[in-house]
Amino acid sequence: MQLLHTVRGAVWIIVYLLFVLAPLFALLAGSHPTPRDFWTEFAVAIGYSGLAMMGLQFGLTARFRYVTAPWGEDVIYHFHRQISLTAVGLVVAHPLILFAVQPELRAPSNFIGAPLSAYFAVVSLFSLIALVVMALWRARLKISYETWHLTHIVLAIVAVTAGLAHMVASGFYLPDPWKRALWIGLAVFWMALLLYVRIVKPLFMLRRPYRVSDVRRERGDTSTLVMQPDGHSGFRFTPGQFGWLTLWGSPFRITGHPFSFSSSAEAADGRVEMTIRKLGDFTSAIAEVPVGRRVYLDGPYGAFTIGNPADMHVLIAGGVGVTPMMSMIRTLADRGDKRPVILLYGSKDWESITFREELETMEARLNLTVVHVLSDPPAGWKGERGFINAKVLERHLPPIFADHEYFICGPGVMMDAIEKALGEMNVPLSKYHSERYSFV
């Protein structure tokens, strides 16, 4: 399976590069306009590449499971963010270089009388800058996730459309019909990706709804939504995976919210559970969701799953990051797996430990050891204090550390510290897995 994922990953990387580089290869073939100076040609080349990268962003966020399986959704979204910054850098550099080598372009009179293609370029450029600013500083600007998501999509469409209009209106490098056809084909492909995400996929979800059958209050200001498939058999998932939940409204709603599955993957009735902590506007209403409400799930997604052979599973969780770990523990118990499992669970205090009582009962169902690490322990606490670090891991894990399989989920600062600690313990990267669920 690992080899298959590696091969599939390599194939998709090659396909991505071909889509990005195809416009540049096209410039080298067919008819050529009168050549200009190097820096002008270079500016045009990076502008073409930046536009191609921008268009492919619609594909990176389309959530094709066959494409994302080798890496996981969080890696794809991280790549989406990084490549977006690269694309914006190329697009911004395009006019800056032209202004540097052609000073006359900077004259206000030239801008007033500029051709239509120049105005398209300005619209595309400022849409991109606004998109990046809102993505990087959403929290500081106090923009809600839903508002940001809608604005992000609109700005992306405007930026790409205006960029294409700028290129076609300029027309300098598109004298051949086949070159124009290439860009028209790319534009149609990008539009098809957008239509798939916003129309086709919601139509499939509309035919496969779920009903809330129970809402359980958990410790730590957390609630569990129990959802049953309504008129269909549901889907199969692997413990550790997640789905996108549409709770209020239809699947055509712009914004879905990603949450891990906390239920066992062995549930025969297709039941799916998501355990959600009250952390914001959307999550604050989870506890009040009425039983019987129709909801929609898009999943499963993620490569943060058990399955590789290992002598021991080491689960390291912080706060609500325990939810995918709970799915793993429940699934292993239902399967009668005899391999040892150690859960190192970081929490603020004893009363806020989600699943505390169930974890105690689980220790009788499988070879499970639970180690609680409290940052604010009660008086007389004899367990681990503070935060999970290399010393805590070394106290509770049997050597050889590199033989175990590690799964890490929790706040970003905690995960960074754990990954650093595992590196100090000479655990290879291939032996530990993390899921950050950061899609902004």
- For the domain made up of 313-434, the CATH class stated in words is alpha beta
10 Å CB burial of residue 338 (0-12, 13-18, 19+) is: exposed
Task: At 398, list the tokens.
Answer: 């049997």
Question: Which secondary structure element, helix H or strand E, spans residue 407, and what is its range?
Answer: strand 405-409
Question: How many CB atoms are closer than 10 A to CB 59?
Answer: 20
CA 38, distance to chain mean position in Å, is: 39
CA 114, distance to chain mean position in Å, is: 41
Given a contact cutoff of 8 angstroms between Cβ atoms, the answer to whether 407 and 433 are in contact is yes
Q: Which residues pair with 409 in a beta bridge?
A: 317
Q: Kindly report the CA angle at 157 between 154 and 160, in degrees rounded to 5?
A: 145
- Distance (Å, whole) CA 190 – CA 192: 5
Domains 210-301 and 313-434 share a fold: no
Backbone angles phi, psi at 37, to 5 degrees: -65, 160
Given a contact cutoff of 8 angstroms between Cβ atoms, the answer to whether 355 and 223 are in contact is no
Say which residues have a Cβ less than 8 Å from residue 425's Cβ, sequence separation at least 6: 390, 393, 394, 401, 402
10 Å CB burial of residue 177 (0-12, 13-18, 19+) is: exposed
Residue-level length of the chain: 440
* Pairing status of strand 210-218 against strand 294-301: antiparallel
The CA-based dihedral angle spanning residues 104, 106, 112, 118, taken in that order and rounded to the nearest 10 degrees = 100
Task: At 158, list the tokens.
Answer: 């405007």
Q: What is the pLDDT of residue 296?
A: 95
Task: At 385, list the tokens.
Answer: 């204090």
Task: At 206, list the tokens.
Answer: 């509309």
Backbone angles phi, psi at 410, to 5 degrees: 165, -165
- For the domain made up of 210-301, the CATH class stated in words is mainly beta
Low-confidence ranges of the chain (pLDDT < 70): 1-9, 28, 30-33, 62, 66-73, 105-113, 307-310, 436-440
Alpha-carbon distance values, 348 to 319, 369, 414 (Å): 8, 20, 13
Q: What is the pLDDT of residue 138?
A: 84
* 269-307 pLDDT per residue, tens: 889 999 999 887 788 889 899 999 999 999 898 888 886
Q: What is the pLDDT of residue 182?
A: 77
Q: Which residues pair with 226 in a beta bridge?
A: 214, 273
* Pairing status of strand 242-246 against strand 294-301: antiparallel
Amino acid making up residue 286: I
Domain ranges of the chain: 2-205, 210-301, 313-434
Task: At 281, list the tokens.
Answer: 């506007």
Q: What is the pLDDT of residue 48?
A: 82
Alpha-carbon distance values, 437 to 14, 202, 282 (Å): 26, 22, 16
Q: What is the pLDDT of residue 243?
A: 92
Name which of 282, 264, 252, 271 is nearest 211 in CA terms: 271
